[in-house]
Structure 1
Amino acid sequence: MKVAGFSFIRNAVLFDYPIVEAITSVLPLCDEFVVAVGESDDDTLQLIQSIPSDKIRIIHTVWDQSAQSHAGGRVLAQETDKALAAVSADADWAFYIQGDEVLHEDSIPVVREAMQTYQNDKNVEGLLFNYVHFYGSYSYVGDSRRWYRREIRVIRNTGNVASYKDAQGFRTRDNQKLKIKLIDAYIYHYGWVKPPETQKKRLRYANRFWHRADTIEQAHQSLETFDYSGIDSLAPFTGKHPAVMQPRVDRQNWQFSFDTRQKKYSPRVRFLTFIEKLTGWRIGEYKNYKMA
């Protein structure tokens, strides 16, 4: 069984992406790892080159700046597809990790076993992972309906799979949902944990891939830093972070506290949340996949 990892990144230093931790977290599962490094305004290329592994293969890309590519975050899917296209054709599975995601080391045996179990079952086109979304600091996680619970991160390397919409998930090239198996493995998402001033810079930059420039300027001109306090609901994180993330956790140099008893829900969301807590069923949940 051959496994390839793949990812894309741009301006990782400028916007404090844990891309080194992301790549490092999945390397134990991979025979090779392709990184599409976009032309950057910082030392992103040198950062990736500094990872001490001969499994890593870098491809150099230039992001499409056209309005069409920016609409709906499409350029992110384009960059994902560039990395996927560079994966060796003889790889059985391809493991996708984004620049702010980290696989917990406790999940490595689970992922490896699942890939081995379904290696010859062509009906299984991907593996679905659970998500833990951190917000504001390394001590809180999002627990409301606004956070997606699961997403595909391992796909069968058939050449017939493409990144979907803004690169959150995948579909076949003829736009069919992938048939997947849910596994008991966890991706930790750290995109909403940065110093407030860095978070504002990141959002101002990233929003260009979804919104018009004048709309972005109006939304950000009144704030010097990002205000984390507007979130609807958070829960305390009581587990342990992936080992590769612990140095970042220890370096946190800003303060954020949140009263986890408060729930800023509309009556409708409050009812839907009650049903989910009671039954585990998330009514109306977005599912870009089919169970195999």
Structure 2
Amino acid sequence: MKISGFTFLKNGQILGYPFIQSIQSVLPIVDEFVIALGPCEDETQKMLEAMNEPKLKIIHTQWNSKMKDRGYVYGQQKMIAQFNCSGDWVFYLEADEVVHEDDLQTIKSSMQKYLHDDEVEALVFDYLHFYGNQNSYLWSPGWYRRAPRILKNTIRSYAPDGLFWLVLEKNKIGRYPKAALVGATMYHYGWVRSEEQMNLKSKQVQQYWSKSHQSIDYSQIGQQIIKEFRGVHPEVMKNWLPDAFEVYHADPAYRLTRKEKKHQLMLMLEKFLGLELSKKHYKLVR
């Protein structure tokens, strides 16, 4: 069984992505790691080369600055990397996502288990979305709790905006992949980077969705969905995470938006009815 890791990247250093740590977290179980690397204005390429890692395969790409429709450029870049993967499974990581070393054997065992199960096309991770600092994560239906990150390389798939996969059963019809739970957690650190880096990222990203940048202030969120993390972070993240000694405190005067009020109602329904109402880009079959 061969496993290909992959991602796409542009200006990872100045935008505050822990992309080196992300890649390092899965290197023990992948046979290759493919990176679609766009034009960079920072040290991203040098940092990748300094890894001196024989499993890395860097593909230099261009980003279509004229394409502003719903993040399609991200889908293009994701698929450039995926199309260059040669494994039985492809393991996609966004540049701010990290796998815990304690989960590596579980992940590999799940791939082995479902390799010849034709009903299973993808493997789904549980998610921890860290927010504000390393001691805090978000728990709300507004923040997806599970997502597929591993896909069989024999599946006709594409990523319309880079955020999820669609499987093509017919030429013009796409559906979410049929999936099994991998039994492991993805650690998402995008909202732990500095506010300055997050705002810089937003300025660069929003153009690809035909949107204008809105200033990001981490404190403008409801305290109700911020939970204390009592686990242990992946070893590769120890030197990247800023020190923190308590749960992140939001602005107590913040007023929930209409959408956030809806999510609060959904949380209540989840609690009393035993449901899980966050967005799902997959169909569980195992």
- Above 0.5 in TM-score? yes
- How much has 1:87 moved relative to structure 2? 0.8
Partner residue in 1 for 2:233: 241
1:211 and 1:77 map into 2 onto residues whose CA distance is 15
- SS in structure 1 opposite 2:28? helix
- How much has 1:176 moved relative to structure 2? 2.2
Partner residue in 1 for 2:5: 5
What pairs with 1:168-187 in structure 2 (closer than 5 Å)?
A: 168-173=163-168, 174-187=173-186
Partner residue in 2 for 1:26: 26
Residues 94, 268 of structure 1: CA spacing in aligned structure 2 closer, same or farther, 3 A cutoff? closer
What pairs with 1:211-222 in structure 2 (closer than 5 Å)?
A: 211-212=210-211, 215-216=212-213, 219-220=214-215
Given the two structures, how large is their TM-score scaled by the length of structure 1?
0.87
Partner residue in 2 for 1:46: 46
- SS in structure 2 opposite 1:175? strand
CA contact (8 A) 1:195 1:254 kept: no
**Over residues 103-124 of structure 1, what are the superposed CA-to-partner deviations in whole Å (9 max), with x where a residue is unaligned?**
1112111111111111111221
Selected match of 2:267 from 264, 273, 283 = 273
1:139 and 1:260 map into 2 onto residues whose CA distance is 17
2:7 and 2:186 map into 1 onto residues whose CA distance is 14
- How much has 1:70 moved relative to structure 2? 2.5
- How much has 1:252 moved relative to structure 2? 4.5
- What do you get for the CA RMSD once the two structures are aligned? 2.4
AA aligned opposite 1:155: L
Mapped pair 1:289 → 2:285: no
Residues 118, 252 of structure 1: CA spacing in aligned structure 2 closer, same or farther, 3 A cutoff? same
Residues 255, 209 of structure 1: CA spacing in aligned structure 2 closer, same or farther, 3 A cutoff? farther
1:253 and 1:107 map into 2 onto residues whose CA distance is 25
1:206 and 1:288 map into 2 onto residues whose CA distance is 22
What pairs with 1:1-292 in structure 2 (closer than 5 Å)?
A: 1-66=1-66, 69-88=67-86, 91-158=87-154, 160-163=156-159, 165-173=160-168, 174-212=173-211, 215-216=212-213, 219-220=214-215, 226-232=216-222, 233-249=225-241, 251-252=242-243, 257-258=248-249, 264=256, 268-283=262-277, 285-292=278-285
Greater displacement, 141-150 / 171-180:
171-180
CA contact (8 A) 1:195 1:253 kept: no
Q: Which has the higher contact order (CA 8 A, sep 6+)?
A: 2
2:105 and 2:255 map into 1 onto residues whose CA distance is 36
Aligned residues: 276
| Same amino acid, percent of matched pairs | 33
- SS in structure 1 opposite 2:239? helix
Greater displacement, 7-16 / 153-162:
153-162
2:268 and 2:210 map into 1 onto residues whose CA distance is 33
Given the two structures, how large is their TM-score scaled by the length of structure 2?
0.89
Structure 2 unaligned segments of length 5 or more: list them.
none
AA aligned opposite 1:244: V
- How much has 1:205 moved relative to structure 2? 1.4
AA aligned opposite 2:73: V
- Relative to its length, the structure with more helix (as a share) is 1
**Over residues 34-93 of structure 1, what are the superposed CA-to-partner deviations in whole Å (9 max), with x where a residue is unaligned?**
011111111211111122321111100011111xx32211111110000001112xx211
1:291 and 1:57 map into 2 onto residues whose CA distance is 32
2:247 and 2:227 map into 1 onto residues whose CA distance is 13
